[in-house]
Amino acid sequence: MVTILLSPVVQERFGPRLQAAFGGHAHRIVHLDAPPGPDGDFGIDAAFLSRDITGRSTKFKISETMERFFHMLEHSRNLRWVQTHSAGADRPVWKPIKARGITMTTGGGALAGTVAVTAVGGVIALARRFPEAMDAQRRHAWEPLLEDRSPPDLAGTSALVVGLGPIGGEIARLLRAIGLRVTGARPEARPHEHCDEVISYAEVRSRLPGTDWLVLACPLTDMTRGIVDGAGLASLPKGAHVVNVARGEVIVEKEFIEVLRSGHLGGAWLDVFEVEPLDPASPLWDLPRVMVSPHSSGHAQGNYDRVAGIFLDNLGRFVAGEPLRNVVQAGR
C-alpha cells in the first residue's frame, strides 16, 4: 500500500491520470486535513508539493498550507519520495528532508520555456532601452533614440549564460537565434549544442571582462552562491547588462547595488533577490535602467499541467520501482 499526500485540486483535476499512474497498485490518497495515527505518524510514503499548496510562499515567508505540508512530512517516518512543482529545491524548508536522505524530484523543464522567454525578453528590453521609453511616456516626452542616444546593435554582442540546465540551455538557444555569441558555464566544461563555447563555473570570473550580457540561470549551490560579486561586476565592460532568473544569492546584492549606482553597468533585469519579497526600501526599485520583477519569470497558465505531467510520470515510476526523473543531486 502506497500512501501519497497531495492537494484535492490535483486529485480532482487529474483523477483518471492518477489512477493510470498507480497502475493497479494498492494506494491511499490523503490531503492536508488528514489526521495522524495514534502514534502521531501520518504514514505518508510519497508527497507532491503543488503550486496551490505553496501559494504565495517565499523562502522567508511560508503559507499555512505549506507549513502543514512539511509538518506532515516531518511526522512520516517511512517517507521515501517528495515531488515539488518548482525547478529547484534550495529553500531552507527543504533542509530537513534532504538531511533524511529522502528522494526529491523537481519540476525542472516544465518552466524552462517560460523562464527563458522572460530572460531573453529582459535582454531585448534593456538592449532596445524600453525602460527609458516607458519613462519618457510617463513624462509625455517624445525622445527618439537618435544620435548619441542610439543603442548598440544587439547582434554580435557576447553573452555569458551561467547555468546550462533546461532553462539556461533554452536561453542560450534563443540568444544565438537573435545573433549573440554565447558562452555557457556549468560545473564542468562540456560542450553544449546551443553554445559557441562552454566553460566551468570556476572560469566565470575570468570571462566577465569580455561579457556584454551576463545571464544568470543556475541553481543555488555551494558552487554558485556569490559567484558574482562587486569586483566581478566592475570587471564587466562599461555598459554591460545583467539578467538574473537564477536565485538572488548568486549575486552579492549589496555590492551589486553599489556597482549599479556607479553607472558602470548599462542596466539590469532582476527577477530574484537575496530576500523576498524585496524590501520596499531597497534601492533596486528606483535605480535607473533596473527592471524589477517579483520572482515571476516562470509563472504561466500552462505550468500546472506541465508540472503534473512530470509528477504523474514519476508516480508511475515510483510504484513500479523504476528510476525517477529530475532527482535532486546531493549538495544541490
User: Can you say whether the dihedral through the CA atoms of 24, 26, 32, 34 is positive or negative?
Assistant: positive
Cα 101–chain centre separation: 23
Secondary structure of the chain in the HEC alphabet? CEEEECCHHHHHHCHHHHHHHHCCCCEEEECCCCCCCCCCCCCCCEEEECHHHHCCCCCCCCCHHHHHHHHHHHCCCCCCEEEECCCCCCCHHHHHHHHCCCEEECCCCCCHHHHHHHHHHHHHHHHCCHHHHHHHHHCCCCCCCCHHHCCCCCCCCEEEEECCCHHHHHHHHHHHHCCCEEEEEECCCCCCCCCCEEEEHHHHHHHHHHCCEEEECCCCCCCCCCCECHHHHHHCCCCCEEEECCCHHHECHHHHHHHHHHCCCCEEEECCCCCCCCCCCCHHHCCCCEEECCCCCCCCCCHHHHHHHHHHHHHHHHHHCCCCCCECCCCC
Indicate if 139 belongs to the active site. no
Indicate which residue of 186, 207, 289, 295 is catalytic.
Answer: 295
Q: Which of 207, 241, 247, 289 is catalytic?
A: 247
247 annotated active-site: yes
Q: What region does 86 belong to: left with phi over 0, alpha with psi -120 to 50, or beta?
A: beta
Residues taking part in catalysis: 247, 295
